[in-house]
Amino acid sequence: MRRGRTILLNVLAIGVFGLLLHLAEGYCNGYQLQILNLIAINIILALSLNLIYGFTGLFSLGHAGFMAIGAYVCSILIMTPDQKDMLFLLQPAYDWVQTAHAPFFAAVLAGGAVAAIFGAVVGIPLLRLGDDYLGIATLGFAEIIRVVANNVPRLTNGALGFKGIPAYADLWWNFGWALVALYVIVRLLQSNTGNVLKAIRDNEIAAKAMGVDVFRYKLLSFTVGSFFAGVGGALLASLLTTIDPKMFLFTLTFNVLMIVVAGGLGSLTGSVLAGIGITVLLEWLRVVENPVDLLGFSLPGIPGMRMVVFSLALIVIILFRREGLMGMRELTWRSLAGVFSRGKA
Amino acid sequence: MNLATFIQNILNSLTLGSLYALVAIGYTMVYGILRLINFAHSEIFMLGAYFVFWGITLVHLPWPVAMVLAILVTASLGVLVDQVAYRPLRDAPRISALISSIGVSFFLQNVAIVFFQAIPREVYRPAWLEDPILVHGVRVLPLTLFVPLLSLVLMLLLVYIVYRTKTGLGMRAISKDIETSYLMGVPVNRVIAVTFGIGSALAAASGIMWALRYPQLQPIMGTIPGFKAFIAAVFGGIGSIQGAVIGGLTLGFIEIMTVAFFPDLAGYRDAFAFVLLILVLMVKPTGLLGERPEDKV
């Protein structure tokens, strides 16, 4: 398939998708819109973790930490000084926290940028570690971020967190950022840099022997991934309008990891599809936690059941279909065309 | 700080440290053999404590019987987890088993939430552990003597198993080279099962004593001690049992003493261990006593 045609198809697809979003905005109720928004944010998070882990082989469990950074930075920037006056009840905010203000786009960008800076700073010492050591160290980083958020009330309002964050993150912003994330990561991976990243994933020693500056490329991938994790966190904060340190527990990282594994490590379209599927599944599973009326009997809701089913699903996937939905394959126009032409023949 | 408080703090550190050490041994043994961070270990710790609780409140077992039974049940559960979730993945990339263990961890934790409910529960403590005794004018909680002593007994038992029995020999052989162990006729799968059993039994013992020390049960109670014990194992040099004990005790001392001397830092208590971890990994990734196999090409 020629390049020009691919671009044309992509533009067309984005146009159709925009139209669908416009329709969704008109016809969906608030709950359905919320799920659509969560899908977009989960896609951003999954793409960023897939870049770090699926394409570069860096087993990072620190996503919740980077999301927390993005969420707090963005929230501080989009809340008005008056709002912050009301919010910081225990102790007044630092002056620079109090006065800082920025429009939404800049705030999300700043959230991502600060997360990326943190990613680079912790990446420099940590990325020299081997796979599972790296996992546990990044997990430690995320926990430290959470403990700090709990203990610096003048910056984060402590355990109370923020309430009433302006809800700017609508469908357009969220899916817009998801497209940006997809575009940037696809371009990165299609470039020569992408080949180097995959080489590091497949065999680090061989990559080193070929003269690749392994550390620099790992750091690049980790920083870009952290940036989008921060963006995802920022959007999530504005979507949910409240954040507190408890939100950024390891569970959050687990959810993202689940999407990436289910979609296929090393498959971006897999992450997109699994992002949609798992977000819907997670919402649908809320049914088992709510009381159900069955033929006049009311069964009580079972709290925790949702995560039981969810974690069981992860174990089953890893035991029986380790490569996930897509493996390392991608869904492209060419592969779609292949399916249809085979269907005709 | 006067001498009496200081002695109490030392005992508290020893108690906390030996609890970490017992859990850390389980991490280090499994890691030494399978190169797997067993995330489900912290849930084993939690379940051990719950089993005692149910043994006492539901079946009205006497306290020591409940403890022994709970340790046995938890040990079998540990073996079961290995058989179901890790054994099929022995030949898979290592990270698959790691993800599986994260899944098992969340699964067990949420099963506990479903069946035991998320509300914290009060734990029954025998009076002879709770009533302070006076030793030369220092008020001492018997529990802070009981926990380190029982832990010491368990550790000596473990050392006997690892260094004086055939199964222990098998464990040491597998941790050196699993492929060769197969060839030399070591019953690898059985030895691994025993390892999981022993590790889980120690974690259960630790969980039970933890519940006596901090008398509250919660399905998420294992997470933070689990992480810290793992860090203790890394600090001591993962794969080394002595290292795990040293690491656990060090961590216990750091935590109690830092809060005792700098009360302002109490809120950061849970972050100490992670800061220590990152420092250790940066300076000496193999830990105090660990040896790192070099990358083979």
C-alpha dihedral, B147 to B149 to B150 to B151, nearest 10°: 80
Number of domains within chain B: 1
Average the pLDDT over each of A110-114, A221-225, B231-235 and give the range with the smallest value.
B231-235
The CA–CA distances, whole Å, from B29 to A303, B54, B101, B295 equal 34, 29, 15, 21
Percentage of chain A beyond pLDDT 70 is: 95
The ipTM estimated for the assembled molecules is 0.84
**Is A319 close to B89, i.e. CB distance below 8 A?**
yes
Average pLDDT estimate for A72-95: 88
In a domain, B290, yes or no: no
pTM for this structure? 0.89
pLDDT at A108 over 90: yes
**Is A137 close to B295, i.e. CB distance below 8 A?**
no
CA B150/CA A270 separation, integer angstroms:
51
**Candidates A129, A314, A322; nearest CB to B103:** A314
> Helix, strand, or coil here: A94?
coil
Which of A:276-315 have CB within 8 Å of B? 302-308, 310-312, 314-315
In a domain, B39, yes or no: yes
- Enclosing domain of residue B186: 3-283
pLDDT at A334 over 70: yes
Burial of B129 (0-12, 13-18, 19+ CB in 10 A): middle
* The pLDDT value given to residue A330: 85
* Structure confidence by residue, pLDDT tens digits, A122-143: 999 888 887 778 888 898 899 9
* The pLDDT value given to residue B220: 87
**Is B96 close to A322, i.e. CB distance below 8 A?**
yes
For chain A, the structural domain boundaries read 17-249
- The CATH number that applies at residue B254 is 1.10.3470
Tokens 């040293």 locate to B246
Please give the mean pLDDT across all residues of chain A.
Answer: 89
Asked whether B112 and B45 are in contact (CB, 8 A), the reply is no
Q: Which of A61, A141, A144 to mutate to test the interface with B (most CBs of B within 10 A)?
A: A144
Average pLDDT estimate for A279-294: 77
pLDDT at A227 over 60: yes
B133 touches chain A (CB under 8 A): no
- Closest alpha carbon within chain B to A144: B271
Which of A:127-186 have CB within 8 Å of B? 129-133, 135-137, 139-141, 143-144, 147-148, 150-151
Asked whether A89 and A249 are in contact (CB, 8 A), the reply is no
pLDDT at A345 over 50: no
Q: Quote the tokens at residue B58.
A: 């539901």
CA B19/CA B208 separation, integer angstroms:
10
**Candidates B106, B277, B282; nearest CB to A307:** B106
- Closest alpha carbon within chain A to B292: A130
Q: Chain B: nearest CA to A205, how far in angstroms?
A: 7
* Structure confidence by residue, pLDDT tens digits, A63-74: 999 999 999 999
In a domain, B296, yes or no: no
Please give the mean pLDDT across all residues of chain B.
Answer: 89
Exposed e or buried b per residue across A223-262, where buried means at least 16 C-beta atoms within 10 angstroms of its C-beta: bbbbbbbbbbbbbbbbbbeebbbebbbbbbbbbbbbbbbb
pLDDT at B294 over 80: no
**Candidates B96, B118, B267; nearest CB to A303:** B118
* Structure confidence by residue, pLDDT tens digits, B155-198: 999 999 999 999 999 999 998 888 899 999 999 999 999 999 99
A1 touches chain B (CB under 8 A): no
In a domain, B289, yes or no: no
Largest CA distance in chain A: 72
Asked whether B227 and B42 are in contact (CB, 8 A), the reply is yes
Average pLDDT estimate for B79-107: 91
Q: Sort out which chain A residues have CB atoms less than 8 A from B105's CB and list them.
A: 311
* The pLDDT value given to residue A70: 97
